[in-house]
């Protein structure tokens, strides 16, 4: 599957295209299929996302899992600061990255 990701313009926070908007949670990300480029240009032009790009991901029972470790770290937060993770109370969250 293909996901569209980027950063919020004002905050810089990592964000994921959900099909009808943006979410900071990768679990909400939608498969953009062959439409990624068109959505990317429309959303970037409207300044609803900054520096967007399309990535490969695998569907799982808990939602999409980006194929590359870099995007999994982007999705969850730095592995060395669990307190900055999007799931600070989940000690197993780091396993999802590695």
Partner 1 sequence: MYKYDNYDQAIVDARVADFRDQVKRRIAGEITEDQFKPLRLMNGLYLQLHAYMLRVAIPYGTLDSRQMRMLAHIARKYDRDYGHFTTRQNIQYNWIKLEECADILEELATVEMHAIQTSGNCIRNISSDQYAGAAADEVVDPRPWAELLRQWSTFHPEFSYLPRKFKIAVIASAEDRAAMRLHDIGLELIRKDGELGARVFVGGGMGRTPMIAPEINPFVKADDLLSYLEACLRVYNRYGRRDNIYKARIKILIHEIGADEYRGQVAEEFAHVKTLGIDPPLAELERISAFFAPPAYDASDVEPDRSDPDFAVWLDQNVKPHKQAGYAIVNISLKPIGGIPGDATSAQIDVMADLAEKYSFDELRVTHAQNIVLPYVAKRDLYAVWQGLRDAELADANLDLISDIIACPGLDYCSLANARSIPVAQKIATRFADMDRQRDLGELKLKISGCINACGHHHAGHIGILGVDRKGVENYQLTFGGSGAEDVSIGKIIGPGFDEDGVVDAVEKATEVYKALRQGDERFVDTYRRVGMNPFKEAIYG
Q: Is the dihedral of CA 24, 58, 69, 61 positive or negative?
A: positive
Q: Say how far apart CA 58 and CA 40 lie, in whole Å.
A: 20
Decide: is 70 part of the binding site for partner 1 (CB under 8 A).
yes
Collect all residues with Cβ–Cβ distance below 8 Å to 33 and sequence separation of at least 6.
Answer: 1, 2
DSSP 48: S
Report the residue from 1, 67, 82, 93 that binds partner 1 according to the rule CB under 8 A. Answer: 67
Contact between 9 and partner 1 by CB under 8 A: the answer reads yes
Tell me if 69 contacts partner 1 by CB under 8 A: yes
> x/- binding map, residues 34-63, to partner 1, per CB under 8 A?
----------x--x--xx------------
Binder of partner 1 out of 38, 68, 88, 90 (CB under 8 A):
68
Question: Binder to partner 1 among 39, 73, 82, 93 (CB under 8 A)?
Answer: 73
Which residues, numbered 16-35, are part of the site for partner 1 (CB under 8 A)? none
């Amino acid at each position: 599957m293909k996901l569209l990701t980027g950063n919020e313009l004002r905050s810089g926070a990592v964000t994921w295209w959900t099909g009808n908007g943006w979410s900071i949670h990768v679990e909400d990300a939608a498969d953009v299929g062959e439409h990624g480029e068109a959505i990317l240009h429309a959303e970037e032009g409207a300044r609803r996302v900054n520096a967007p790009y399309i990535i490969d991901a695998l569907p799982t029972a808990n939602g999409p899992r980006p194929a590359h470790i870099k995007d999994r770290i982007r999705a969850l937060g730095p592995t060395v600061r669990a307190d900055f993770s999007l799931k600070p109370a989940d000690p197993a969250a780091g396993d999802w990255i590695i």
